[in-house]
């Protein structure tokens, strides 16, 4: 497997990295395992200090981090800067809150004595991450697991090795002990081997259904816990009462942010028929204003896609959609630049049997549907094997929230832009995966929720409900 940095704007191969050896994997597992035991006896406050220092170093090196990301996977520099800052915010949040989140909790019980759940580390965690938010994906798993005391091994995407190594270096240079996060250029067999290893206690994967299913199968085979953050076909529903100026201003950004290569990107726009024409017109207008170019240049507003392969796959999907009856309202024309550019495209008339109705288009392509009732909008939104996120514009936010209740996804934003912040849980249902990252839920993903019951002495006069024999043997 080739780990390479290829600039998708210039198509130049910037750097190549050799694959990890089995010996390096073994060392990482052993370092991680030893650190797990060291962390157990360490005050969590020490790790909080280290995590704060990591946040500070991320901010100090933000220009280098952002530029490396833009050169490696093509995102606009301003977006890369935003991603870097978000990593620092996540690190600070867990440094500030993890101790409280992990405090033992008392449970009211009818049993004799006091019952508490203690939250403890479990061991080394394997992390498999994608290229689209190459730093943020690492930090979502790193910060909470570092705080609880789970060391990590990272296998990043083969097209983002430089960002992976840079973040691992920043973390290590900020003072995190060796083994806290070891980045390795692993092949798939080595990932399986790591998951099978008894020193590893869980695996967190963000990526496609294909890799999610493979990695979860290996985890299941070895009885390891897993969390999966997979794809999405998030609906963006526009109902009566929606403010069309706000809708128009957010819709295009929702689709073109990160060049449309985002799991929670709004991929299906579901619009009431009386607003449909205006919606399409304004989406088209906004799509037509973006300026392709060098993503390092501040004037550029349309980035290249991350690889030639990704662009070719998207083109094939759009061609298939058109063959199956989709109408191109805008776009789908070549952009005369050497980078991996894909013109923002709007498709309508996508029927249920069109592949674009059921498969994720991971790039700047919007599918717009017309509906005549709210029930139809909800039914269409739920007519997907995915269940990650979604947006509802409804004017009245209470009514919007009632609609949100009926959407089968893990996150819904009403009359709002999408957020990802450390205090908000992130994740989906159906084929978008399971488990949550960020927030308290992300903190608890790989902890041992250990029950400790203490009493001064057993209550032998009241055995009801106890798992000891009530029969008197005397
Ligand atoms: P991908 O091919 O599944 O790659 C993701 C990661 O999994 C990469 O590190 C990849 O390594 C690795 N991988 C793939 N097959 C593997 C295997 N058999 N064993 C071990 N590792 C394996 O995903 P992608 O297509 O690049 O990423 C885009 C997908 O991720 C989209 O579907 C998107 O919606 C989803 N995504 C979800 C979220 C979320 O939070 N829900 C966030 C971002 C992206 P290689 O690069 O070496 O193949």
For 310-376, the DSSP string reads HHHHHHHHHHHHHHTT-EEEE-----SSSS-----EEEE---TTSHHHHS---SSEEEEEEESSHHH
- The rounded Å distance from CA 158 to ligand 1 centre is 10
Cα–Cα distance between 94 and 80 in angstroms, integer? 22
Domain at 3-229+444-451: CATH architecture: 3-Layer(aba) Sandwich (3.40)
Which of 3, 130, 185, 387 to mutate to test ligand 1, by most ligand atoms within 8 A of the CB atom? 130
Active site residue 229: yes
Spatial CA neighbour of 105 closest among 449, 473, 421: 449
Q: Which two tokens stand for residue 187?
A: 């092949």
- The rounded Å distance from CA 338 to ligand 1 centre is 26
Q: Does any ligand 1 atom lie closer than 6 A to the CB of residue 361?
A: no
pLDDT score for 1: 66
Nearest CA to ligand 1 atom 42: 263
Ordered by start, the domain boundaries in the chain are 3-229+444-451, 234-414
pLDDT score for 474: 57
Task: Give the distance from CA 127 to its chain's centroid.
Answer: 12
Q: Does any ligand 1 atom lie closer than 6 A to the CB of residue 188?
A: yes
Q: Does any ligand 1 atom lie closer than 6 A to the CB of residue 206?
A: yes
Q: Which two tokens stand for residue 211?
A: 């890799």
CB atoms near residue 310 (< 10 Å): 23
Cα–Cα distance between 256 and 87 in angstroms, integer? 21
DSSP 3-state percent helix, strand, coil across the chain (nearest 5): 40, 20, 40
- How far are the Cα atoms of 268, 336, 345 from residue 390, in angstroms, in the given order? 9, 34, 20
Superfamily holding 234-414: Aldehyde Dehydrogenase; Chain A, domain 2 (3.40.309.10)
Which of 156, 211, 430 to mutate to test ligand 1, by most ligand atoms within 8 A of the CB atom? 211
Nearest CA to ligand 1 atom 40: 229
The answer to whether 349 and 324 are in contact (CB under 8 A) is no
Q: What is the DSSP letter of 176?
A: P
CB atoms near residue 34 (< 10 Å): 15
Residues 265-299: pLDDT tens digits? 999 999 999 999 999 999 999 999 999 999 999 99
**Residues facing residue 50 across a β-bridge:** none
- The rounded Å distance from CA 369 to ligand 1 centre is 28
Residues 6+ apart with CB under 8 A from 274: 240
Q: Does any ligand 1 atom lie closer than 6 A to the CB of residue 362?
A: yes
- The rounded Å distance from CA 420 to ligand 1 centre is 19
Decide the pairing of beta strands 429-430 and 413-414: unpaired
Q: Which of 229, 262, 374, 437 is catalytic?
A: 229
The SS3 call for residue 206 is strand
Task: Give the distance from CA 74 to its chain's centroid.
Answer: 18
pLDDT tens digits in sequence order for the chain, 474 residues long:
699 999 999 999 999 999 999 999 999 999 999 999 999 999 999 999 999 999 999 999 999 999 999 999 999 999 999 999 999 999 999 999 999 999 999 999 988 999 999 999 999 999 999 999 999 999 999 999 999 999 999 999 999 999 999 999 999 999 999 999 999 999 999 999 999 999 999 999 999 999 999 999 999 999 999 999 999 999 999 999 999 999 999 999 999 999 999 999 999 999 999 999 999 999 999 999 999 999 999 999 999 999 999 999 999 999 999 999 999 999 999 999 999 999 999 999 999 999 999 999 999 999 999 999 999 999 999 999 999 999 999 989 999 999 999 999 999 999 999 999 999 999 999 999 999 999 999 999 999 999 999 999 988 887 767 777 666 665
Spatial CA neighbour of 263 closest among 409, 93, 70, 406: 409
Decide the pairing of beta strands 234-238 and 266-272: parallel
Whole-structure pTM value: 0.96
Nearest CA to ligand 1 atom 21: 188
- How far are the Cα atoms of 141, 142, 158, 273, 328 from residue 153, in angstroms, in the given order? 11, 10, 15, 50, 44
| Residue 170 φ/ψ region, left for φ over 0, alpha for ψ in the -120 to 50 degree band, beta for the rest | alpha
Cα–Cα distance between 82 and 421 in angstroms, integer? 12
The answer to whether 215 and 203 are in contact (CB under 8 A) is yes
- The rounded Å distance from CA 351 to ligand 1 centre is 28
Q: Which atom of ligand 1 is nearest to the CA of 437?
A: 40
Residues 6+ apart with CB under 8 A from 277: none
């Amino acid at each position: 497997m080739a780990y390479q940095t290829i600039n998708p704007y210039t198509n130049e191969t910037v750097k190549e990295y050799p694959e990890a050896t089995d010996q390096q994997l073994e060392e990482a597992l052993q370092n991680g395992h030893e650190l797990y035991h060291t962390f157990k006896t360490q005050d969590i406050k020490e790790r909080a200090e280290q995590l704060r220092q990591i946040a500070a170093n991320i901010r100090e090196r933000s220009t280098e981090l952002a530029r490396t990301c833009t050169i490696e996977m093509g995102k606009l520099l301003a977006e890369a800067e935003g991603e870097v800052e978000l990593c620092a915010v996540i690190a600070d949040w867990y440094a500030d809150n993890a101790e409280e989140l992990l405090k033992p909790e008392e449970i009211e019980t009818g049993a004799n004595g006091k019952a508490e759940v203690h939250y403890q580390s479990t061991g080394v965690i394997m992390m498999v991450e994608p290229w689209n938010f190459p730093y943020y994906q690492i930090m979502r798993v790193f910060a909470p697991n570092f705080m609880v005391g789970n060391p990590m091994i990272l296998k990043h995407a083969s097209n983002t090795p430089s960002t992976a190594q840079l973040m691992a270096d920043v973390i290590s240079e900020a003072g995190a002990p060796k083994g806290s996060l070891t980045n390795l250029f692993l092949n798939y067999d080595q990932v399986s081997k790591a998951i099978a290893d008894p020193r590893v206690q869980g695996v967190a994967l963000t990526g496609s259904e294909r890799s999610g299913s493979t990695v979860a199968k290996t985890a299941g085979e070895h009885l390891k816990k897993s969390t999966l953050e997979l794809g999405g076909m998030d609906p963006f529903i526009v109902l009566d009462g929606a403010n069309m100026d706000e809708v128009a201003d957010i819709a295009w950004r929702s689709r073109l942010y990160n060049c449309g290569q985002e799991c929670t990107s709004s991929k299906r726009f579901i619009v009431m028929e009386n607003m449909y024409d205006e919606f399409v017109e304004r989406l088209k207008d906004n799509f037509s204003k973006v300026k392709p170019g060098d993503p390092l240049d501040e004037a550029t507003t349309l980035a290249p896609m991350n690889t030639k392969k990704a662009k070719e796959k998207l083109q094939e999907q759009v061609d298939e959609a058109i063959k199956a009856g989709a109408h191109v309202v805008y776009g789908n024309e070549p952009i005369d630049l050497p980078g991996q550019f894909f013109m923002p495209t709007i498709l309508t008339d996508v029927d249920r049997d069109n592949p674009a109705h059921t498969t994720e288009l991971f790039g700047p392509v919007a599918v717009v549907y017309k509906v005549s009732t709210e029930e139809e909008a909800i039914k269409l939104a739920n007519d997907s094997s995915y269940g990650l996120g979604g947006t509802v514009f409804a004017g009245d936010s209470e009514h919007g929230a009632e609609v949100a209740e009926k959407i089968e996804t893990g996150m819904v934003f009403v009359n709002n832009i999408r957020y990802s912040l450390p205090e908000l849980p992130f994740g989906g249902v159906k084929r978008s995966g399971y488990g949550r990252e960020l927030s308290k839920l992300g903190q608890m993903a790989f902890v041992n929720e250990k029950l400790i019951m203490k009493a001064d002495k057993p209550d032998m006069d009241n055995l009801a409900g106890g798992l000891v024999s009530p029969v008197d043997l005397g």
